[in-house]
A = this chain, B = another copy of it.
Amino acid sequence: MTERKNIAIMGAGLVGSLLSLYLAKRGHKVDLYERRPDLRKNTLDGGRSINLALSDRGWRALRGIGIEEDVRKVAIPMHGRMMHDEQGNLTFQPYGKEGQSIYSVSRSGLNAALMNLSEPNPDITYHFSRQATDVNLRTNEVQLLNLETGNPENIQPDLLFGADGAFSVVRGAMQKTERFNYAQSYLEYGYKELSIPPTAAGGWAIEKNALHIWPRGKYMMIALPNIDGSFTCTLFFPYDGEQSFAAIKNEADLMAFFTEVFPDAVSLMPTLAQDYFSNPIGSLVTVKCFPWSYEGKSLLIGDACHAVVPFYGQGMNAGFEDITVLDQMLDSFEGDDWEALFEAFERRRKPNADAIADLAVMNFIEMRDKVADPRFLLRKKIEARISQQFPDKWIPLYSMVTFTDLPYSYALETGQQQDKIMKKVMKHIQSIEDYDKPEVQRLLEKQLVQKEKLKKYNAAMEV
């Protein structure tokens, strides 16, 4: 049994709150410090409910603290993508096999649920409206400003976790240490949240069990269902250029643009102009850094060390998986060498964090452009057939990321191999029926033999 520690978690968002439960379970005393006030006491700001896609890695972490079933009750399964073309025609593409779905959940609802679960625990204490103003990594002292009283406070935990998101203050302190590797990169796109309200009857105005996409090549809009019948729409749009945030100067510009390119959506969005001109433009940043820990006293986790763009729906899931992995490592942790533990953790997670960051950027192109292409959709169908025929030899990349706990880095690498094979196969394919042609089957079997060989070779290299 390891010694009981006084642990401070900076940030009481999804990752911080879930982490507190895992750490308290192991006998540690946990204090969480959050810059914002308690989101459960806040009046809803305009009824907007920002949602997230929860998938297998996230569920697994929730299962570990027994909250899976409660969350499932308020999560909406999305079985696939529903594409809307410029005439309002719909095309559906399932995400995985029968029964495989991602789930739309409310960020604040899930966060509140995690807080409600952890707060009664005598070993967990939430401190809201606390802004970290200075972090001394050498002494583990953190200076806080109590935003309610205006008074400074000072803490000095045994262990400090930075779960404070993409603009982490703890990471800011690490950036000032020697030889810290750091990268922040922004897409030339921003996002704007919009909404589709429930119907008069209180139902969903478009298919409930799908993630809706209006793919338009250089930009796109998506919509995820909420439990109250509404949808949260997000427009991903260039900052500058002919069709961009900069080009839309007034309501007339906005309505003309939406009516032309999102005709079926615009009639469902009565508050479009109001939403558009009152909501801010969000930026899309990828953050990579290394190391994630400092002298066994502090550790970054979640977005604080690997913020990703939202296009694979894996930001929260990757943060939750950090916790699952840390918890697994704590299973076999003895003694008090947290430095070795943190270093093993960051070495294990870093390649996977890098992989999902790159996958997320790549998926933006797929979502905004390729899903509108019939050849691409045919290819997805062919790949589903391959996976059906060879279930132990082929899992599509999206499924590896979303419906398994295979390492993201393995998924990325295997996905690239499969992509090469698909390019060869698709040369012989004009329709789904072509899949059964002898030459396609022969090519596929030959390619799969090579893929297996490569896999064994790589496994041998890793030994």
The chain A residues found within 8 Å of chain B, CB to CB, are 178-186, 283, 285
Contact = CB atoms under 8 A, between A and B. Distances in A.
Nearest to A239: B179
Contacts of A180: 184, 186
Contacts of A285: 179
Given A180-B184, A182-B182, 13 more contacts: A178-B283, A179-B186, A179-B283, A179-B285, A180-B186, A181-B184, A181-B185, A182-B183, A182-B184, A182-B185, A183-B183, A183-B184, A183-B185
Contacts of A178: 283
16 contacts: A178-B283, A179-B186, A179-B283, A179-B285, A180-B184, A180-B186, A181-B184, A181-B185, A181-B186, A182-B182, A182-B183, A182-B184, A182-B185, A183-B183, A183-B184, A183-B185
A180 B185 CA distance: 7
A181 B178 CA distance: 21
A309 to B, nearest CB: 13
A283 B179 CA distance: 7
Nearest to A181: B185
A184 B283 CA distance: 21
Contacts of A182: 182-185
Which DSSP category, helix, strand, loop or mixed, fits chain A's interface?
Answer: strand
A181 B187 CA distance: 9
Nearest to A188: B179
A236 to B, nearest CB: 15
Contacts of A283: 178-179
Contacts of A186: 179-181
| Most chain B beta-carbon neighbours within 10 Å: one of A179, A180, A283, A285 | A179
A307 to B, nearest CB: 14
A354 to B, nearest CB: 13
Nearest to A284: B179
A181 B179 CA distance: 19
Contacts of A181: 184-186
A283 B285 CA distance: 28
A392 to B, nearest CB: 37
A181 B184 CA distance: 6
Contacts of A184: 180-183
A183 B182 CA distance: 5
Q: Which 8 interchain pairs have the tightest Cβ spacing?
A: A183-B183, A179-B186, A181-B185, A182-B184, A179-B283, A181-B186, A181-B184, A182-B183
A179 B282 CA distance: 10
Nearest to A283: B179
Nearest to A285: B179
A182 B283 CA distance: 15
A87 B185 CA distance: 48
A210 to B, nearest CB: 32
A241 to B, nearest CB: 15
Contacts of A179: 186, 283, 285
Contacts of A185: 181-183
Nearest to A179: B186
A284 B260 CA distance: 53
A179 B181 CA distance: 19
Nearest to A186: B179
Contacts of A183: 182-185
Nearest to A182: B184
A169 to B, nearest CB: 14
Nearest to A184: B182
Nearest to A286: B181
Among A178, A186, A283, which residue has the most Cβ atoms of chain B within 10 A? A186
Nearest to A178: B283
A228 to B, nearest CB: 33
A167 to B, nearest CB: 11
A90 to B, nearest CB: 35
A463 to B, nearest CB: 21
